[in-house]
Structure 1
């Protein structure tokens, strides 16, 4: 956004200090859904990450509209209610949002909830910089502590037995990639061909919190 100075004269003709007036960089989109698409294309989100970001922001769209977000497989195709992105500045929203987010956190795993919250805050921050919204209704919503991972690593004989299983090439490739890269499953599953650098045996993934590594 840009800031235009505004000056005027006092009652005795003295020049008052400039006052900042926020001017949007561009016209606000017609709806929250349109604002999501503008964010995905305008904020430099990698194509490999856009799908995950869109799902998370569509999920948050329900809660920003003061409605519970769908859970399970149905949430991937569920479109939130239509509302203007400026509705995010509704002063009553933070309290309602906190309750909805808490209920969702009780029904979902901590990693998913924290990832969605991080993505929502990034998008809202970008919308603020465009001058489309003023506040962030997620302030005060805390990240959920993830339970400790008590999974034990497989022994060498278990790994050898895994490679001997009579399964499809896709599954073996997936397991081998996880084993040799130590990457998280969702990071590997979101890899696209254009993200791979086969000559270097490397790939570009979206890590926890949305960072590209």
Structure 2
């Protein structure tokens, strides 16, 4: 989405009363292809049910189901975040992690834009996180679980970490650190204008050039949806007063993610994989994948 689109759409018009109208206005301003626009529309309409404390239809019932009428003011209500989190938890029972990540990214992009237009006063998507997967007993004959356990015990702990279900921001950061082999400081210092997304690398004039692989290439566009400037990785909340403009997102007002916070989140997320129960540091993401042994 261009700066002209962000500044020119919405602010000159009265705020829409209904959620679906706000969705239409956001999609009209978003720089999306027709296929992506359709995905965003389906995802955003899906959040209408939990906003009125109803479960999203599943299976055949969801196809063609009209979303409920939702006043946009409900997003400013005290229960909005709680209802969205409950909807996210319900959705996790039937949706694949990749689908859940995409739908949450669509919601975050839209609410950030509505907040920037002044249509809502708080972002109900702040702090939303997909629930952790249910632990699998060690005796369960699951190839996936055995692979995660093996990677946690071996030199390739990075592979185990990247199988975890985590928020989009964390997954993107972990994949970028693993695939680029760059330092945490270098990655967290990246701004959106540093990136050449189609080329999967930073632009030539960027200090400390780096490149990435398919995992990061899949996640980055979802993370950056609705933002064209500012830090790549930002905090969940608005930056404190006095934060330098270079470390603040001009759309959402959120600050650049710090090394300390990124490290805390990774250690907490990897605690279940650590036999000692302490969790790992971000440095394990630079572990190399083990060589394949021919049979």
| TM-score category, normalised to shorter length | 0.5 to 0.7
Per the TM alignment, residue 37 of structure 1 is displaced from its structure 2 partner at its CA by 0.7
Match of 1:114 among 78, 97, 101: 101
CA contact (8 A) 1:24 1:131 kept: yes
CA contact (8 A) 2:18 2:70 kept: yes
Matches within 5 A, 1:1-213: 25-143=12-130, 207-208=218-219, 210=222
1:11-33 C-alpha deviation (Å, 9 max, x unpaired): xxxxxxxxxxxx95421113111
- Give the 4+ runs in structure 1 shifted more than 6 A: none
CA contact (8 A) 2:89 2:130 kept: no
CA contact (8 A) 1:39 1:126 kept: yes
* Secondary structure class of the residue paired with 2:13: coil
Which one is further off, 31-40 or 137-146? Answer: 137-146
Unaligned runs of 5+ in 2: 1-5, 134-143, 148-216, 226-295
Task: Return the alpha-carbon distance in structure 1 between the equivalents of residues 131 and 81 of structure 2.
Answer: 18
Per the TM alignment, residue 97 of structure 1 is displaced from its structure 2 partner at its CA by 2.3
Task: Return the alpha-carbon distance in structure 1 between the equivalents of residues 101 and 24 of structure 2.
Answer: 21
TM-score, normalising length: structure 2: 0.41
Using a 3 Å threshold, how does the CA distance of structure 1 residues 25 and 207 change in structure 2: closer, same or farther? Answer: farther
Task: Return the alpha-carbon distance in structure 1 between the equivalents of residues 49 and 80 of structure 2.
Answer: 12
1:80-121 C-alpha deviation (Å, 9 max, x unpaired): 211221210101222232222112112221111111001011
Task: Return the alpha-carbon distance in structure 2 between the equivalents of residues 76 and 40 of structure 1.
Answer: 21
Task: Return the alpha-carbon distance in structure 1 between the equivalents of residues 62 and 37 of structure 2.
Answer: 16
1:154-209 C-alpha deviation (Å, 9 max, x unpaired): xxxxxxxxxxxxxxxxxxxxxxxxxxxxxxxxxxxxxxxxxxxxxxxxxxxx9445
Task: Return the alpha-carbon distance in structure 2 between the equivalents of residues 122 and 105 of structure 1.
Answer: 20
Task: Return the alpha-carbon distance in structure 2 between the equivalents of residues 117 and 62 of structure 1.
Answer: 14
Number of aligned residue pairs: 137
CA RMSD of aligned residues (A): 3.0
Task: Return the alpha-carbon distance in structure 1 between the equivalents of residues 29 and 17 of structure 2.
Answer: 16
Task: Return the alpha-carbon distance in structure 1 between the equivalents of residues 130 and 81 of structure 2.
Answer: 15
* Secondary structure class of the residue paired with 1:50: helix
Query: What residue in structure 1 maps to residue 256 of structure 2?
Result: none
* Secondary structure class of the residue paired with 2:101: helix
Larger Rg: 1
Using a 3 Å threshold, how does the CA distance of structure 1 residues 118 and 87 change in structure 2: closer, same or farther? Answer: same
Which one is further off, 45-54 or 94-103? Answer: 94-103
- Greater relative contact order: 1 or 2 (C-alpha under 8 angstroms, separation 6 or more)? 1
TM-score, normalising length: structure 1: 0.55
